[in-house]
Amino acid sequence: MYIKIDHNSGIPISAQMVDQIKYLAVSGALKGNDKIPSVRALASELKLNPTTVARVYRQLEADEIIYTQRGSGTFIAPRRSALTKNEKERRLAGDIRKLVVEAGRMGMDFDDLMLLVCDEIEAIRGSQGKKHKPGKGKREGKVNEHR
């Protein structure tokens, strides 16, 4: 699992990790039921405090991005579409408004904003299209870096 942490950005490390693992899951770099490293293995790999990684896993579990099976490890949860279309829209409305307001505040052309959003969707679609092979995750994860 390729994760890049910026230690001096001021963004909580756990928030950076949650974002990136969600991205890997949504983009298809990590597929449903893929096994992910244990808390300690990931903490050792990233040279992080295990309590920080445990916090990330708790958050991801609450968000239903991962699930843990006692004795066998932690896995990416298969994507669910249990939410109704209305509910999904309701949950996203706030974030979308914030994005539009922020763009407006900076005086950005809304057409340009649309293009940016489309680019981001294309990037995720592009990586979803690729068949994920073990060991390839590292390269695919890097899609994240340009953000």
Partner 1 sequence: MNIVEMDHAVRFFGATPAVTDMCLAVPKGSVFGLLGENGSGKTTSIKMMMGALIPQEGTVRVFGVDPLTLKPEQRARIAYIADDMGLPNWMKLSEGMALHRSYFQQWDQGVADERLERYGLRLNQSFGTLSKGQKRQFLLTLALAQQPDLLILDEPASGLDVSVRRDFLDSLMELANTREVSVLLSSHILTDVERVVDHVSFMKKGACVRQANLEDMKEGIKRLCFSENQDRDVLLQSFSILQEKQVQGGYQVVVEDFAAERMDGLDCHVEHLNLEELFLVFNALSDVGAVR
Indicate the residue among 52 and 68 with the shorter CB distance to partner 1: 52
**Cα–Cα distance, 24 to 33 (Å, whole number):** 13
Compute the C-alpha angle 50/65/73, nearest 5°: 55
Tokens of 122: 């294309």
Is residue 12 at the binding interface for partner 1, with CB under 8 A as the rule? Answer: yes
107 binds partner 1 per the rule CB under 8 A: no
Residue 62, interface with partner 1 (CB under 8 A)?
no
Q: For partner 1, what does the binding mask look like between residues 75 and 104, x meaning CB under 8 A?
A: -----------------------x--xx--
Q: How many CB atoms lie within 10 A of CB 39?
A: 20
Classify the C-alpha dihedral 15-64-27-94 as positive or negative: negative
> Judged by CB, which is closer to partner 1: 20, or 27?
20
For residues 126 and 139, the answer to whether their CB atoms sit within 8 Å is: no
Q: How many CB atoms lie within 10 A of CB 102?
A: 11
Q: How many residues in the shown chain lie near partner 1 by CB under 8 A?
A: 23
Per rule CB under 8 A, is residue 51 in the interface with partner 1?
yes
- Backbone φ and ψ of 3, nearest 5°: -130, 135
Could you tell me the smallest distance in angstroms from the CB atom of residue 103 to partner 1? 12
Is residue 49 within the footprint of partner 1 (CB under 8 A)? yes
Which of 44, 117, 122, 142: binder of partner 1 (CB under 8 A)?
44
Enter the DSSP assignment of 73. Answer: E
Looking at residues 110 to 129 of the shown chain, list those that interact with partner 1 (rule: CB under 8 A): none
Residue numbers of the site for partner 1 (CB under 8 A)? 7-15, 40, 43-44, 47-52, 55, 98, 101-102, 105
